[in-house]
Amino acid sequence: MAIGIFDSGIGGLTVFREISKEYPYTDIYYLGDTARVPYGNKSKETIIRYSLECGEYLKGFNIDVLVIACNTASSYALDILKNYLNIPVIGVVLPGVKTALKFTKNKKIGVIGTTATIKSNSYKKFLLKEDKDLEVYQKPCPLFVPLVEEGMLNNQITKLIIKEYLDDLIDKGIDTLILGCTHYPLLKDSIKSIYPNINIVDSSKATTEFLKDIYKPKKENRLRKIFITDESQNFINLKNILLEENVEVEKLELSKICKL
């Protein structure tokens, strides 16, 4: 019994952390494609190819379910991975949508993410499919990822950039904001401090709730293994912020996953 999780890099450790808390006795393998991050400014074809390679690699560990922790990969490669891997695959988009629908009262929802995620309209499509009366306002926030990777989570520059990106959405009257990127949950406190009345949807928590509905493992094992394709200082910084426990980390040669 095992869960596989992948992300373009280390932001997906926010999802790993939540799933790890909910599944204390289950083996969990995480692959962060740190050598090729970011996916958020790549083409659809490249995002799909990288996602297939990550999913295929994790499937080699006999995982029962694959979680695409990356919003960009979820936006472009979810159905393709489902067909290709033949195991349950969940992305982060639908869980985020379901949670936003529970929160919103005025039916005005903001979505932020990478340039590729926003361009795909993945959140907007799912939201309007659930309720065609919603008003959905989207905004790419490309500077948020480097801010988080640099550990600049709560300083004045970060708050100025948050306002620069989000004031527009707030002016539209949104009551709910979906953090459609793995890194953004780390900015949640700063966002909340500027806009205390907005409901914030954290995909990492929403995805774990979703996973609990479809995957109920036996209490057997407890292996935690993180693979990364490149070891950077940013990885070490973020890992230290996110993970309390001593999780085994292995650096993989990229050639091990580039088989397709």
Contact pattern from residue 94 through residue 123 relative to ligand DGL, giving x for each residue in contact according to CB under 6 A and a dash for the rest: -------------------xx--x------
Tokens of 30: 């995480």
Our finding on whether 11 is near ligand DGL (CB under 6 A) is yes
Task: Show the beta-strand stretches assigned E in the chain.
Answer: 2-7, 27-32, 65-68, 89-90, 108-113, 135-140, 176-180, 199-202, 224-228, 248-251
* CB-CB contact of 184 with 64 (8 Å): no
Our finding on whether 158 is near ligand DGL (CB under 6 A) is no
Tokens of 107: 């039916």
Our finding on whether 70 is near ligand DGL (CB under 6 A) is yes
Query: What is the C-alpha radius of gyration for the chain, rounded to an integer number of angstroms?
Result: 17
Active site residue 258: no
In the list 14, 51, 182, 234, the residue contacting ligand DGL (rule: CB under 6 A) is 182
In the list 68, 93, 127, 181, the residue contacting ligand DGL (rule: CB under 6 A) is 181
Active site residue 70: yes
| Among the listed residues 188, 181, 182, the one whose alpha carbon sits nearest the alpha carbon of residue 162 | 188
Nearest distance, CB of residue 216 and ligand DGL, angstroms: 26
Cβ-closest residue to ligand DGL? Answer: 40
For the segment 218-237, give every residue that binds ligand DGL (CB under 6 A).
Answer: none
Question: To 5 degrees, how large is the angle CA 84–CA 256–CA 241?
Answer: 90
For the segment 18-47, give every residue that binds ligand DGL (CB under 6 A).
Answer: 37-40
List of residues contacting ligand DGL (CB under 6 A) = 7-9, 11, 37-40, 70-72, 113-114, 117, 145, 181-183
